[in-house]
């Protein structure tokens, strides 16, 4: 995979590495490369500030999804990644984009906002496999 030499790429979950390669990514944008070690190596809060269309979504989610994926098989469970957005349209957009990535990791993605169909139970309560949930 040609991205292996790019800063931190080899630290991502192997299914993410394959997905990025298949998408034709030639490298990690500056925001993604800078955020990767911060989000993989610390439990502290991180703010990613960058221009529009600079890759902030993947800068946050690629390392966080890697951490979630790495928890597979550990006794304390996988965990949960909760994304809160100010607009329903943004949740729907992220659901489509991140759904493709999470599919590779076999992690569920649940968009949840005022226009979502009624759910039988709060999706986070019974989250056994971990996953990504969008909320507003």
Quickly tell me which residue has 């292996």 as its tokens.
4
Is residue 3 classed as helix, strand or coil in its secondary structure? helix
Domain boundary among 14, 38, 70: 70
Taken in order 79, 52, 92, 19, the sign of the CA dihedral is negative
pTM of the model: 0.74
**Phi, psi torsion values for 135, nearest 5 degrees:** -145, 160
Per-residue pLDDT tens over the stretch 6-35: 568 889 999 999 999 999 988 888 889 899
Number of structural domains in the chain: 2
Residues 100 and 47 in one domain: no
Task: List the domain range (segments joined by +) for residue 65.
Answer: 1-70
Residues 121 and 82 in one domain: yes
Say what the pLDDT of residue 136 is: 39
| % of the chain beyond a pLDDT of 90 | 18
Domain boundary among 70, 104, 128: 70
Per-residue pLDDT tens over the stretch 99-131: 888 888 888 887 777 766 665 555 555 454 455
Query: Which spans in 44-87 are helix H?
Result: 56-70
Residues 27 and 92 in one domain: no
Q: Which of 123, 106, 20 is nearest to 69 (CA)?
A: 106
Residues 19 and 60 in one domain: yes
Residues 2 and 64 in one domain: yes
Domain boundary among 15, 42, 70: 70
Residues 46 and 93 in one domain: no
């Amino acid at each position: 995979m040609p991205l292996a030499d790019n800063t931190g790429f080899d630290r991502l979950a192997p299914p993410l590495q394959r997905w990025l390669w298949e998408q034709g990514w030639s490298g990690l944008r500056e925001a993604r490369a800078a955020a990767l070690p911060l989000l993989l190596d610390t439990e502290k809060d991180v703010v990613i500030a960058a221009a529009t269309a600079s890759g902030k979504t993947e800068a946050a989610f690629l390392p966080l999804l890697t951490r979630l994926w790495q928890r597979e098989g550990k006794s304390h469970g996988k965990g949960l990644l909760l994304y809160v957005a100010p607009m329903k349209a943004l949740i729907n957009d992220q659901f489509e984009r991140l759904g493709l990535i999470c599919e590779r990791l076999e992690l569920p993605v649940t968009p949840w906002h005022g226009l979502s169909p009624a759910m039988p139970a709060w999706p986070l309560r019974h989250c056994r496999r971990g996953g990504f949930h969008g909320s507003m």
